[in-house]
Structure 1
Amino acid sequence: MVRSAMFKKILSEIDTKEQDLSLGDTSLIEQSRIMIALLQEILVRVKEQVGISGFTDVIAEIEFFKEVKPMVLGKLIYYNNVYRIETTCPVRGGKLYRKYFEGQLKLLKQHNASQLDMDFYRYYRSGRTDKDADYFLREQVHYATVLDSFYFEMDSQYSTYYDHLVARFIAQDLTYVYILSRIYPETPLNFGSLDIPDDLQWTGTKNALIELIYALYISGVLSHGKIGIRKVSLIFQSLFKIPLGDIHHAFHRMKDRAGKRTLFIDHLRDSLEEYMDKHL
């Protein structure tokens, strides 16, 4: 996936702030409040930029309304969800605490189930691109297909209706992982019903696995780059039944390595090339 300079800059700004907060000792409520303020400021900033500069072509416009704006707005909705949930939850620990988050998970699943029959939901989740011009160009909105009246209150020069739906999907994914982490704080999560062999183990180091996770996330090859680093990490922890702890802190240590910083990725490349050379 080729990303524009605008997208890369915004991603970098958000990721850097999230990583800085994760390394500090601020509460999740305070982290959410800070991220809400930052994301609101970014939305205002990019709206002004779009109003002044516009788009160079339809490809840039589609990227903005399919990738850039939904990513920022989706995270804003997510952090607002976290702030709301955390500021109303019972004291941590005990049955009441777990029951509260199980109730939040049930509400989230009910909301998600209401979208499963949407043609657009299936289109987006499948990673298709053939109808992007219909969904993500501002002049292409078909009013007969608009299901929510909130569209008519939007700025038509800054919205396509479907960009808001994508933001909702992103927020739901992030919120789902967050709620599960509260219900099962010490237990690797089980995604899906794959028949995973009991003897499947990660026999490399934890740092090697974290390096692989970040490489896959940053390259955007998983779910077209729409899946967050936390969810990718949880999936690998579940698959290999291995707790990784604070992956952001581990990643920062990798960045400060002397010499080669991508030891495991380099090892993978060298091993593959050696195998290829032996089987010419």
Structure 2
Amino acid sequence: MDFQITKEEIEAEIWRIERTFLNKLVVCREIINYCRMILESYRKEINSGGFQDISSEILFFKTQKQLPLSQLIYYSKLHSFYVQAPKGGKKFLTEFINTKLKKLNKFFLINSEFGEYIETNQSYLDAFYFTREFNNIVITEALLHFRNPDFNTSHDFLLGEVKANKLFIKFLKQQLQRLDSDYSDTSESKNELKWTGSKAGLTELIYALHEQKVFNNGNTDLKDIAAFFKEAFHFDTGDIYRTFSELKSRKKSRTPFLEELSINLLTKMRDSDY
């Protein structure tokens, strides 16, 4: 059998999907559907052609099938996380994540023997774990009773879970780190954003936003916007009316900061990998 979809192709398509859709739930569903499509094509090919020998069967269930299967399981877990995650603040979300981490640790403890077999690249039980001959001997989950015996072995799904759960643990730890950063109450984090540009550049921005009427439907005074930026960016805007008069008297460009802002953004859009 010749399975054409490589790891690089799968990762490239997942990368494309992640950057095509902004909604995380949509991203998960698209990737899940993509992986299901690959697995279904594999199932049909197996039904029509079978395997040349035991080695090729082991290679498929231990390696080739794992590429889409582990990603399908992982993004299914991400989908459930985004749907179930509490919205009530750091405390509730932290407890939610820690509960999931405990369950994952329990999973790896229960399957530690199999995990060690995989981690140490052993192969002496491959025929037992990754051929369909022993499907009716080893039952590790009740769910196995309902799987297609022609497209599953006793442990191929378990291996997919091992791989997916490692990715999921990494994701959960990143979420905890992000929570600690987002909810930090230290003075250092509060004062983190400081305006390091010029007073003239900030004045251009303040006047532009005021004229664009982006605050409170345009019902905000210029001085209130200036006061907000002064406090938010820890920068003394000074007399913005005087600075604005100086901007108007410029002989060359009157708004170099805004022009450079636009150019840099367009350059980023053109060159960015995203």
Aligned position for 2:193: none
Aligned partner of 1:153 in structure 2 is: 146
The 3 A distance-change label for structure 1 pair 59 and 84 is same
CA distance in 2: counterparts of 1:130 and 1:147, whole angstroms = 19
Contact 1:77 1:168 in 2 (8 A): yes
- Correspondence 1:70-85 to 2 at 5 A: 70-85=66-81
1:63 aligns with 2:59: yes
Which ranges in structure 2 are unaligned for 5 or more consecutive residues?
181-270
Alignment of 1:157-168 (within 5 A): 157-168=150-161
TM-score of the two chains, using structure 2 as the length reference: 0.60
Cα pair distance change 1:97/1:42, threshold 3 Å: same
Paired residues, what number? 186
Q: Which has the higher contact order (CA 8 A, sep 6+)?
A: 1
Instruction: State the partner residue of 1:49.
Output: 45
Q: Is the 8 A contact 2:140 2:154 kept in 1?
A: no
Deviation at 1:25, TM superposition (A): 5.1
- Pairwise CA distance, 1:122: 2.4
TM normalised by structure 1 equals 0.58
Deviation at 1:254, TM superposition (A): 11
Q: Does 1:98 align with 2:98?
A: no
Q: Is the 8 A contact 1:71 1:170 kept in 2?
A: no
Aligned-residue identity in percent: 21
Contact 1:89 1:97 in 2 (8 A): yes
Secondary structure of 2:65 counterpart = helix
Cα displacement (A) at 1:61: 0.8
Q: Which of 160, 171, 174 lines up with 2:167 in the alignment? A: 174
1:48-102, Cα deviation, whole Å (9 max, x unpaired):
0111121222221111111122332221111111101111112385332223222
Show the 5 A alignment for 1:10-25.
Answer: 10-24=6-20
Structure 2 Cα separation of the partners of residues 96 and 79 of structure 1? 23
SS for the counterpart of 2:178 is coil
Q: Is the 8 A contact 1:90 1:100 kept in 2?
A: yes
Give the structure with higher Rg (CA). 2
Alignment CA distance shift 1:88-1:157 (3 Å): same
Alpha-carbon RMSD: 3.0
Query: Whole-Å Cα distance in 2 between the matches of residues 178 and 5 of structure 1?
Result: 33
